[in-house]
Amino acid sequence: MAKLKGKQIYLRALEQKDLNFLYELENNTEVWEVSGTITPFSKDVLQLYLDNAHRDIYDVKQLRLVICTNEHKSVGLIDVFDFDPNHRRAGIGIIVLDENQRNKGIGAEAITLLCDYLFDVLGLKQVYANILEENAPSLHLFKKLNFETVGIKKDWVRFKNTFKNELLLQKINN
């Protein structure tokens, strides 16, 4: 059985107290390129999102979890999107907001915990990630966790009037 607690972090559901953290993350223009965001979010809109965050993954086809340190500090988010129970697959994405918390194994542990949950609890066959070709740290992280590059989407993402390639990485549970 998968658990959502590792050695240095744990994953938990969104709570009302996450409003300011969500506001900071969603309005951080430095991560808009990877998140696909092009406009700021108001606290009112994010509050509506939090009010509905309890809905079942089978209903809304997505899940967002907060990455917390063992000291209960929120350091990032990990998402499940395009959840398809029929084909038993889903996409995943991750952001560790505080740059000082990056490259410390937090991302690897969060992805491992989430994949264990998706494979063992939800019975998925595969998960995938969409990563910009130039995002070497993220590509390294996912490849280290046995994700395989299976495709390239040329000129897929437009950001500041530049088009960039996006790689499709996949992990299949055998």
pLDDT tens column, 98-111: 778 788 899 999 99
Q: Lowest-pLDDT range, 44-48, 105-109, 116-120, 161-165?
A: 44-48
Q: What is the structure's pLDDT at 78?
A: 96
Identify residue 124 by its one-letter amino acid code.
L
pLDDT tens column, 87-100: 999 999 999 887 78
Closest CA to 69 of 35, 101, 37, 91: 101
- At 64 the three-state DSSP class reads strand
Task: For residues 42 and 70, give the distance between their C-alpha atoms in angstroms, rounded to a whole number.
Answer: 30
Strands (E), 85-147: 89-96, 126-132
Read off the DSSP letter of residue 146. Answer: T
Task: For residues 13 and 67, give the distance between their C-alpha atoms in angstroms, rounded to a whole number.
Answer: 9
- Does 31 score more than 90 pLDDT? no
- Does 12 score more than 70 pLDDT? yes
pLDDT tens column, 135-167: 999 999 999 999 999 999 999 998 888 999 999
- Count of residues making up the chain: 174
Question: Hey, which of 16-25, 33-42, 63-72, 93-102 has the most confident mean pLDDT?
Answer: 63-72
Task: For residues 108 and 113, give the distance between their C-alpha atoms in angstroms, rounded to a whole number.
Answer: 9
Domains detected in the chain: 9-124 (3.40.630.30)
Percent of the chain clearing pLDDT 70 (strictly above): 98
- Does 1 score more than 50 pLDDT? no
Q: What is the structure's pLDDT at 173?
A: 93
Tokens for 18, please give them: 């996450």
Asked whether the beta carbons of 114 and 129 are under 8 A apart, the reply is no
Read off the DSSP letter of residue 85. Answer: T
Q: What is the structure's pLDDT at 2?
A: 55
Closest CA to 144 of 111, 100, 99: 111
pTM beyond 0.85: the answer is yes
Average model confidence (pLDDT) for the chain?
90
